[in-house]
Amino acid sequence: MTAPSFRRAALSLLFSVSCGSLFAQTTMPKAWQAFFENNRDQARTLFTQELNQPATAGDALLGLSMLAQLDRPSAEAFSYFQKFYAQSKDPQPFIYAFWDTPSINADFRKKSPAQLAFLQNVAQNKNLDGTINAMANAMIGNHYQAIKQYEKADEAFKNIGSVDNWTITGEFDNISTSGFDRTYNVLTHPEPSAEFVNKRGAKIGWRNVPPIRHDKWVDFTYYNNSSNSIVFGQSFVKADNDTEAQLRIGVSGSVKVWVNDELLLAVPEERNNDLDTYIQSIKLNKGYNRILVQVGASYIESLNFLVRLTDQNGHVLPLTSTAQAQPYTKEVNYVSKNTETPSIAYFKAEMKKAPDNLLPQILLAQSYLRNDQTFEARHLIEGIRKKYPNNTYLNILLLNVFNREDNRTGAETIKETIKNTDPKCSEALMLKYAELYEQKNYDKAAEVVKEIEATYPEQQEFIYSCKINLASANKNQEEVVRLGEEAYPKFPDNKTFVGLEYAIQKQLRNDQPKALSILKKYVENNDDYPSAKDLADIYFTNGDNISGNKVLVQEVTNEPYATGIFASLGKKYYDQQQYGKAEEAYLKCMDLAPTRSAYSASLGKIDEMSNKKEQAIGHYQRALELDPNDYESIHSLRKLQNKKDVYSYFEEPNIDALIRNAPKASDYPDDNSVILNEEVQKVVYEHGGSEERKYLTVKILTQKGIESWKEYSIDYDSWQDLTFETAEVIKANGNKVPAERNENNLVFTNLEAGDVINIRYKLDNYSKAKLSGYFWDDFYFSHGRPYITSKYSLLIAKNQKFNYKFSQKPIEPVKTSADEFDLYVWKNTKQESLQYEDKMPTIEDVANILYLTNIPDWKFIADWYNDIGASKARTDYEVKEVVADLFKGKANLTPMQKVEQIYNYITGNISYSSVSFRQSGIIPQNPSTVLNTRIGDCKDVSTLFVAMCKEAGIKANLVLVKTRDNGMLSMPLPSINFNHCMAKVNMDNKDYYIELTSQYLPFRTMYNGQINSTILDIDPSATAVTKYLNPTTRYGNDIKRSTTITLADKNMVINERTYQTGAMAAYQREKYGELSQKDRMKKIKEAIASSYPDVEVNKLDYRNVERTNPNDTVYVTLDYQLNNVAKAIGGMSIFSLPWSSKISANDLQVSMPRTSGINLDDMFYLDNETEVITVNLPAGKKLVEAVAPVALSNDVIEYSLTPKQVGNKLMLTRTFKLKKDYVPVEKVAEFNTFFKKMVEADNKELAMR
């Protein structure tokens, strides 16, 4: 559980209140109407008048308390609620609903005497549910902890009644929530000797956690690497008799709970809630009972839980617990029942009694928010907002929902609503100030601050903060000092004001003792470790190590569970060469968090400096078990073990010799540069970590070579760390000019022909989670430039198995063994550059590429991405709402019709976008985020599609794609080098592949360029193999035309009727769909004029060309005239037919001999085309020679031209069918002859006389 941040927090510029509004009882309609219309003065008057009416006094007090949240000091809001509590017969559900608002708790820290007295009353009131008592005790504890009265804090926290004795284990992989549904052998092995394997492959077991947080939450951020992790805790509870009880648990994260090995609770949503959020009935057997808790974090930052065992009223049972495993009886028949949070149950019942009363709806929404059930809360709030969309109280409540959901789009939208609809409320003014300040419009921001000060003078802390920020921004130091010295005495616990006063005394007053006393006073009276660390650092900077160490020692005494503080203390002792004390601090870290590799590595360093060689080796080895990518530990360990530097196993390139023996420009007359040496030296270690050094030495031969190489970018992935070692230009005289660098980009200035570029850099690989310990790589032994030498060297630990494969011509490696490694060297010399050939395949399909990997098979990749993608496809509020709305009133849709509607919704409403700061390279965004922002990349929209299908009851899965333009031969071995994502549904045992990134493609279609892309279905029920994408279930990309030509002298009058399907329809929609009629006419004329310059377009009509039109066919009517296209020779009129897709000899230029095949997807973008031209011959005219039919066919294309003449009408039918889109090199000559025949047929001239 993490305390939320509230709108009246001292330094917050944007205030986020967890609050709600109450609708009126029928006796106060005017008061509530004024409230909802933001007429707060009138509402306050009317509520005050109702205080004397017993029937309405309670609601009036609540209304006044809520109004005070908006525009009065928090003490006033609290005062009204306190009065409500005193007169209410059942305040319990209202306490729960208002708990974390200014009506009760403006924040979770220090309390006023009145607040503390109220909390103590609530804590001791046994008429309330025990959850409320526990909440009050927790808040009392927070108060005393905040002021460092830890004994009183611990006494209050003890009264919560939590189960405190736990052993824990983990962490297991949970990237993208993938670990929640897995079955772990933790369930069947409670014994202390049990051994498990964590997500890094390290052996782990159960371990005790003696100190937990003061507030009794078992917090794994102190004990584990909690990010993307599943962790477990178990406790053994002793009952004197068989007992029916309740298990009440609050968590940050997802949660499962077993009692005596029976699963009682499973909530996959990662929520950040308070104690007792989930309540389950349990049966405790006489003797010991095992409580096992699983919590998980993926997108949430916190990871913790708190368990209480209570009676039916939430009061703690007199039980004992132990962390040590005990014998217990497994449960097999007990049926656990869920009990709703009492407050939620109460307000649900009230809603049933009075469905039109908004009071229970809003309080129910607030209760849901306490439990972090944002879906349910938002549903209620938005329902009420349909009637009161501008009410600030509701809008602030919705803003809280969006903030919890990290829904930035929703949050920004609602902020604008608040500013526009209620511009004078405190929230709107504060938002406006923040906006102006961010825009650096300081003058207008200052005007807003003046308005806040005049209207809401109680916001003094916020006002001072704004004024100080503005004075600082305007570089008005005198004003900053004046304001700081005013603010500090009034708010001595404000951390920012304390820091400012410290700076004033130290830097301006030159009073170091007073400055230090200010910080010391703050640290002594406030539980604030970052400030304590700042104080310690000041001591260290001043050379006072004793005082600095004392501050940190006191902090770990205050928080003996805080591994981060122990680590800071250990680092300071290490820097002071107090190795014994440093070791003691890091051993404490290891005791608390033994799976954090950094602590083992730090102990290794300490032992190394203390000449404890064997101990250091042991610690480094453990660090590498926990993190195989800890390269600093790898190198330190090898040094201690007297092992060679790994790169000494490789042959070092001799740059001087390369340059000395470099060829001249005359040796390569057809090239602008020559690569003297390109080399990779890759190391794969025993535990799977890998690093590599890359060399590139290039001689510039010509001016074009300068243009090609003057800028160079290192291509590396997000999980790699780049270190430049050399980047320089070596001149002919031997001088070296360093390159200019910006991150991974190099610029070589003053480059001249004859210069040599020399680059050397390192990459450390940090693949994570399931991919940790695996590598995949490729290396080009040929490409568009000539080589003198190209070499790939792999130094791999003997325990590591790997596979390699060449895409073209195999190169046999030279294998040697050295110590614990095998060394493989693949080398090629004097490789000519690959020459461009017309319509050649992509470089990946013609170059000779070495592929390597130690990933075992494609199933590993499919399982890995299924873990990531399938879990993201869980449905949430937005998905449920969209699907419900999409199918409202459509009960009889077939599954395919549902899929089509989902497809049309996504492609019609979500725009494709791929930018690094919004989209991860691997992990999809949550579907709700995509729906709210209306943008997403391929995996985002595909995951949304899968989620919507799931909500509609249709099974769908993701498909990883390596697009055709990246080569058909580029995935011979398992890797994650896919660059696209689609979706698949299976119906009637047929697979339907769905492309979702185009807003123009009709349903069940795809572009021809996607055909034969390499795909991997992420479908656990299917065999995991790659295959080429060419589904028989896709609709074709077809064109049918009917063209009538009337010859008039040298001109042709043409009437063309066309319908185009699939990708051809998409082309029309993209090019013409959103143009005006004028621009369409202009565009089509330009297109025709590229072949026939003298053209007049007379008519152009489209049907179904709109972008969002769901039809799969676009219809085009086109009337135009081609002028001067017929030639008069010897009394004859000579003309050729204007086939719309006429093939030209220029479309394919083949020179023999040829080394590569032909990619036809660069020429033909369709599957089938049929065009019928009807030529109306002028009266008295006939063809000199009848048109001969043409029928051409091979395994790639079918082509025909069929003539028919009836009277003066000549009808010619041209058909084209693309059966394959690639011609292998051995069939190029044969195909070229075939192609020329098509060209001849399409361009044949007809003579008429």
What is the band of 915 on the pLDDT scale with cuts at 50, 70, 90?
A: low
State the pLDDT at residue 484. Answer: 96
650-664 exposure pattern, b = at least 16 Cβ within 10 A, e = fewer: beebebeebbeebee
Give the residue-averaged pLDDT of 772-791. Answer: 94
What is the CATH code of the structural domain delimited by 433-554+561-584+594-640? 1.25.40.10
Q: Is the pLDDT score of 1130 beyond 90?
A: no
Q: Which of these CATH numbers, 1.10.10.60, 3.10.620.30, 1.10.3450.40, 3.30.930.10, describes 859-1027?
A: 3.10.620.30
What is the CATH code of the structural domain delimited by 646-854? 2.60.40.3140
- Kindly report the pTM of this predicted structure: 0.85
State the pLDDT at residue 912. Answer: 86
pLDDT tens per residue across span 380-406:
999 999 999 999 999 999 999 999 888
Q: Is the pLDDT score of 19 beyond 90?
A: no
Give the residue-averaged pLDDT of 564-593. Answer: 96
DSSP 669-734: TT-SEEEEEEEEEEEE-TTS-EEEEEEEEEEE-SHHHHHHHSEEE----TTEEEEEEEEEEE-TTS
Give the residue-averaged pLDDT of 909-929. Answer: 73
Q: Which residue is it, tokens 């205080």?
A: 51
DSSP 908-930: HH-EE---TTTS-SSSPPPHHHH
- Establish whether the linkage from the previous residue to 91 is cis, with ω within 30° of 0: no
3-class secondary structure, 180: coil
Give the residue-averaged pLDDT of 1156-1170. Answer: 94
State the pLDDT at residue 925. Answer: 86
Backbone angle region of 1062, left / alpha / beta, with phi > 0 → left and psi within -120 to 50 → alpha: left
Query: H or E segment at 1052?
Result: strand 1051-1061
Distance CA 433, CA 452 (A): 9
Distance CA 223, CA 209 (A): 8
Give the residue-averaged pLDDT of 697-725. Answer: 94
State the pLDDT at residue 634. Answer: 94
What is the band of 27 on the pLDDT scale with cuts at 50, 70, 90?
A: low
- Residues 6+ away with beta carbon under 8 Å from 1038: 1060, 1061, 1062, 1064, 1166, 1167, 1168, 1169
> In 3D, which of 956, 957, 942, 961 has the Cα closest to residue 1028?
961
Q: Is the pLDDT score of 867 beyond 50?
A: yes
Residue range 163-339 forms a domain whose CATH class is mainly beta
State the pLDDT at residue 10. Answer: 29
pLDDT tens per residue across span 1066-1097:
999 999 999 999 999 999 999 999 999 999 99
Residue 633 and residue 625 in contact, taking contact as beta carbons nearer than 8 Å: no
Report DSSP state, residue 647.
G
Percent of the chain with pLDDT over 70: 97
State the pLDDT at residue 18. Answer: 28
Distance CA 703, CA 711 (A): 14
Q: Where along the chain do the CATH 1.25.40.10 domains lie?
A: 433-554+561-584+594-640
Distance CA 276, CA 134 (A): 9
Distance CA 114, CA 73 (A): 14
**Cα distances (Å, whole numbers) of residue 1004 to 27, 903, 1031, 1061:** 59, 9, 10, 11
Is 1.10.10.10 the CATH number for 1038-1248? no
What is the band of 873 on the pLDDT scale with cuts at 50, 70, 90?
A: confident
Residue 401 and residue 381 in contact, taking contact as beta carbons nearer than 8 Å: yes
pLDDT tens per residue across span 584-619:
999 999 999 999 999 999 999 999 999 999 999 999
Backbone angle region of 1131, left / alpha / beta, with phi > 0 → left and psi within -120 to 50 → alpha: left
Distance CA 648, CA 626 (A): 27
pLDDT tens per residue across span 405-415:
888 888 999 99
State the pLDDT at residue 299. Answer: 83
Q: Which residue is it, tokens 């994408």?
A: 1029
Q: Is the pLDDT score of 3 beyond 50?
A: no
Residue 377 and residue 365 in contact, taking contact as beta carbons nearer than 8 Å: yes
Q: Where along the chain do the CATH 3.10.620.30 domains lie?
A: 859-1027
What is the band of 23 on the pLDDT scale with cuts at 50, 70, 90?
A: very low
Q: Is the pLDDT score of 6 beyond 80?
A: no
565-604 exposure pattern, b = at least 16 Cβ within 10 A, e = fewer: bbbbbbebbbeeebbebbbebbebbbbbbbbbbbbbbbbb
Q: Is the pLDDT score of 55 beyond 70?
A: yes
Give the residue-averaged pLDDT of 480-484. Answer: 96
- Residues 6+ away with beta carbon under 8 Å from 896: 987
What is the band of 916 on the pLDDT scale with cuts at 50, 70, 90?
A: very low
Q: Is the pLDDT score of 464 beyond 60?
A: yes
| Residue 804 token pair | 């390699």
> In 3D, which of 624, 627, 561, 570 has the Cα closest to residue 225?
627
Percent of the chain with pLDDT over 90: 86
- Residues 6+ away with beta carbon under 8 Å from 733: none
Give the residue-averaged pLDDT of 1128-1142. Answer: 93
As separate numbers, helices (DSSP H) first and strands (DSSP E) second, the chain gives 38, 47
State the pLDDT at residue 1001. Answer: 95
Report DSSP state, residue 1112.
S
pLDDT tens per residue across span 276-302:
999 999 999 999 999 999 999 988 899
Higher pLDDT, 871 or 1044: 1044
Measure the CA dihedral 329/330/336/341, to 10°.
70
CA 1 to chain centre: 24
What is the band of 347 on the pLDDT scale with cuts at 50, 70, 90?
A: very high
Distance CA 1126, CA 635 (A): 81
Q: Where along the chain do the CATH 2.60.40.3140 domains lie?
A: 646-854
State the pLDDT at residue 1. Answer: 52
Q: What mean pLDDT, rounded, does the chain reach?
A: 93
| Residue 788 token pair | 């003198």
Half-sphere exposure of 75 (CA within 13 A, CB side): 7
